[in-house]
C-alpha cells in the first residue's frame, strides 16, 4: 500500500492543505493575552465563566435543564502521542511535512475557537489580538511551509477593519472569520409566532439583511491581499445546529454544512460576490455536496421567482369571469358553500402581500443562468476533508447547465476527524483509486483550487515556499 509520502512523490503537482489545526499550549498564549488586554482585563477574562465549562459538564440533568449541547469529547489524538505533539509544536509539524505528503499547509485555531464570539466588546478585541500575536510569533519562523490564520472578530465592521490591519502588520497571509454574529432583536414581540417563546436574539450572516454594511471589510481584505475564509466555531456557540444534550455525533453531523449554507446564501443573495467579483470566499470543513444542491436550488428559484418569472403568478392576470365559469361547471357544490361567490373565489389563489421591492434578485445583477452560475462558482471555495466522497458532486454532470464548484483539500489535522495524520493524503487519493475523482479533478482539489484562492488576492502568497515554481504556471 502506497503511503501519503509515496503518493505525493509520484504526483506531478504539489498538495496544499487549506485547513489543518493547531493545539495551542495555553501557558505560552497567556503572556500575549496579558499584554493585549492589560492586567485588569486579563484577570477578568481568566475569571469569566466560559461556555466551554458548560459543554464539558458531565451532569446530564444539568444539560437537560439548560439544553446545553453535548460537544466534542476525546476530540484530539491520544494514543498516537506523536500526532498530538505535532499539532502542538510547529517545529515537529514542519519536520513531518514530507512524511505527511504535504507541500504547504494553512493552519487554524482550536483553543482559539469562540474568541470572535465573546460578548464583551473590549475582551473580544483584546483576546483576538492576543491570540493573533501568539500565532504570529509561534508560527512565523516556519512560514515557508506553514501559515497560520489570524482570527478577525466581526461584531462590527470597525472592529473587523482594525484586526484586519493588525493581522497585516503581524505578517499574516490568511485571516479567518466566524460564520455570523448573534445580535439582540430590538423589540422582540411576546407571543410572536415567528420567534421561539422568549427569543431575544437573531443570527446575522453579514450579507442579506445584515445589521451592518460589511462592504468596507471585504474591500479592506482585498486591499491587504487576504482571501476571506470562514471557519465554524470561531464565533458564537452553534445553538441552531447543536441541539442534542447527549450525543456529540448527532450534533456534529451536518452542522458545518448547515451553518455555511446560511452564510453562503446570505452573501450571495446580498450581492457581495457581485460587488466584489475578484474576492474569494472560502467556507471550511463543511463539504461541497450541499453547495451543489444550493446552486441548483438558486437556479430553479431564479427562473421562477425573477421578475419575468413572476408574471404568470401576478393576480392581476386572473380572469375572474373564466374562473367563476369553470368553477360553476366543475365545482358547483363548492360554490354553494358561500353567499358571495366572488369573495369566495378570491380565497383560492395564494396572493399574499408583495413587498415594495419585488425583485428579490436585484443584488445579483444576473440576466441569465450563466451569469448567476459564474458569480457563485467563481467566488466560493468549499473545504472538504480527505474521506468526503461527495466532492464528486462539485463535478457532477447532473449539475444544472454543467456547472462545477471549487472544493479545497482540508485535512483537519489536529482533530479527531483526521485520524492518523500520515494517512490523510493516502485517504484522499483513494477517491481517485475508487473512481470517484479523476486525476485532474484531484489536482483541482488538492492544488489548483486552494492555490487560486490565495493567489487571486495575493500573487506573491507562495513566494519562498516549495510550491512557488508550480503555482507560477497558474498565473
pLDDT of residue 65: 81
In this structure, the answer to whether residues 300 and 315 fall within a common structural domain is no
Quick one: pLDDT band at residue 64, thresholds 50, 70, 90?
confident
Is the pLDDT confidence value at 470 over 80?
yes
Least confident of 19-28, 115-124, 236-245, 345-354: 236-245
How far is C-alpha 343 from the geometric centre of its chain's CA atoms? 49
In this structure, the answer to whether residues 217 and 327 fall within a common structural domain is no
In this structure, the answer to whether residues 173 and 91 fall within a common structural domain is yes
Is the pLDDT confidence value at 53 over 80?
no
Taking the model in full, what pTM does it have?
0.95
Quick one: pLDDT band at residue 153, thresholds 50, 70, 90?
very high
Number of domains within the chain:
2
Is the pLDDT confidence value at 18 over 90?
yes
CB contact burial 55-87 (16+ within 10 A = b; e otherwise)? beeeeeeebeeeebbbbbeeebbeeeeebeebb
pLDDT of residue 49: 57
Arithmetic mean of pLDDT, 80-93: 97
In this structure, the answer to whether residues 336 and 201 fall within a common structural domain is no
- CA dist 178 and 377 (Å) reads 21
In this structure, the answer to whether residues 252 and 333 fall within a common structural domain is no
Ranges of H-type helices in 90-156: 90-100, 121-139
All three cell numbers of 235: 464565533
Is the pLDDT confidence value at 473 over 70?
yes
pLDDT digits (tens, 9 = 90+) for 160-187: 999 999 999 999 999 999 999 999 999 9
Q: How many residues does the chain have?
A: 475
pLDDT digits (tens, 9 = 90+) for 100-121: 999 999 999 999 999 999 999 9
Q: Report yes or no on 353 lying in a domain.
A: no
In this structure, the answer to whether residues 328 and 417 fall within a common structural domain is no
DSSP designation for 49:
P
The rounded mean pLDDT for the chain is: 94
pLDDT digits (tens, 9 = 90+) for 414-458: 999 999 999 999 999 999 999 999 999 999 999 999 999 999 999
Print the domain residue range for 330: 311-345
In this structure, the answer to whether residues 329 and 274 fall within a common structural domain is no
Residues 6+ apart with CB under 8 A from 87: 21, 22, 23, 76, 77, 93, 110, 413, 414
Arithmetic mean of pLDDT, 260-267: 97
In this structure, the answer to whether residues 86 and 47 fall within a common structural domain is yes
Is the pLDDT confidence value at 245 over 90?
no
Is the pLDDT confidence value at 362 over 70?
yes
pLDDT of residue 73: 83
Q: Which has the closest alpha carbon to 121: 175, 169, 158?
A: 158
When comparing pLDDT for 23 and 243, which is higher? 23
| 8 A C-beta contact, residue 425 and residue 101 | yes
Amino acid at each position: 500500500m502506497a503511503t501519503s509520502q509515496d503518493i505525493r512523490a509520484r504526483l506531478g503537482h504539489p498538495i496544499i492543505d487549506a485547513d489543518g489545526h493547531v493545539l495551542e499550549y495555553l501557558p505560552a498564549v497567556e503572556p500575549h493575552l496579558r499584554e493585549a488586554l492589560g492586567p485588569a482585563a486579563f484577570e477578568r477574562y481568566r475569571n469569566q465563566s466560559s461556555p466551554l465549562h458548560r459543554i464539558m459538564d458531565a451532569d446530564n440533568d444539568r444539560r437537560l435543564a439548560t439544553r446545553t449541547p453535548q460537544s466534542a469529547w476525546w476530540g484530539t489524538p491520544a494514543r498516537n502521542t506523536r500526532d498530538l505533539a505535532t499539532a502542538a509544536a510547529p517545529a515537529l509539524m514542519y519536520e513531518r511535512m514530507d512524511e505527511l505528503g504535504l507541500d504547504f499547509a494553512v493552519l487554524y485555531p482550536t483553543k482559539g475557537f469562540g474568541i470572535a464570539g465573546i460578548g464583551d466588546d473590549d475582551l473580544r478585541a483584546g483576546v483576538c489580538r492576543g491570540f493573533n500575536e501568539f500565532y504570529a510569533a509561534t508560527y512565523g519562523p516556519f512560514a515557508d511551509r506553514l501559515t497560520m490564520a489570524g482570527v478577525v472578530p466581526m461584531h462590527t465592521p470597525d472592529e473587523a477593519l482594525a484586526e484586519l490591519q493588525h493581522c497585516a502588520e503581524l505578517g499574516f497571509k490568511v485571516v479567518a472569520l466566524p460564520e455570523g454574529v448573534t445580535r439582540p432583536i430590538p423589540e422582540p414581540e411576546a407571543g410572536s409566532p415567528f420567534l421561539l417563546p422568549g427569543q431575544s436574539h437573531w443570527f446575522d450572516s453579514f450579507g442579506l439583511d445584515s445589521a451592518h454594511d460589511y462592504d468596507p471589510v471585504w474591500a479592506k481584505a482585498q486591499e491587504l491581499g487576504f482571501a476571506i475564509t470562514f471557519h465554524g466555531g470561531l464565533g458564537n456557540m452553534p445553538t441552531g445546529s447543536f441541539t442534542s444534550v447527549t450525543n456529540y455525533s448527532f450534533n456534529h453531523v451536518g452542522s458545518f454544512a448547515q451553518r455555511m449554507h446560511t452564510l453562503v446564501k446570505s452573501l450571495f443573495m446580498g450581492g457581495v460576490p457581485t460587488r466584489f467579483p475578484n474576492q474569494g470566499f472560502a467556507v471550511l470543513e463543511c463539504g461541497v455536496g450541499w453547495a451543489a444542491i444550493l446552486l441548483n436550488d438558486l437556479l430553479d428559484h431564479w427562473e421562477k421567482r425573477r421578475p419575468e418569472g413572476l408574471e404568470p403568478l401576478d393576480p392581476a392576470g386572473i380572469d375572474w369571469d373564466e374562473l367563476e365559469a369553470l368553477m360553476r361547471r366543475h365545482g358547483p357544490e363548492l360554490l354553494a358553500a358561500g353567499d358571495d361567490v366572488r369573495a369566495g373565489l378570491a380565497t383560492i389563489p395564494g396572493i399574499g402581500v408583495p413587498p415594495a421591492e419585488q425583485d428579490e434578485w436585484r443584488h445579483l445583477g444576473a440576466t441569465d443562468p450563466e451569469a448567476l452560475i459564474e458569480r457563485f462558482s467563481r467566488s466560493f471555495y468549499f473545504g472538504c476533508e480527505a474521506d468526503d466522497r461527495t466532492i464528486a458532486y462539485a463535478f457532477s454532470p447532473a449539475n444544472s447547465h454543467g456547472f462545477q464548484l471549487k472544493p479545497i483539500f482540508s485535512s483537519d489535522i489536529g482533530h479527531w476527524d483526521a485520524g492518523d495524520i500520515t494517512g490523510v493524503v493516502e485517504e484522499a487519493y483513494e477517491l481517485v483509486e475508487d473512481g470517484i475523482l479523476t486525476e485532474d479533478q484531484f489536482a483541482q482539489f488538492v492544488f489548483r483550487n486552494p492555490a487560486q484562492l490565495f493567489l487571486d488576492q495575493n500573487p506573491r502568497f507562495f513566494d519562498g515556499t516549495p510550491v512557488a515554481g508550480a503555482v507560477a504556471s497558474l498565473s
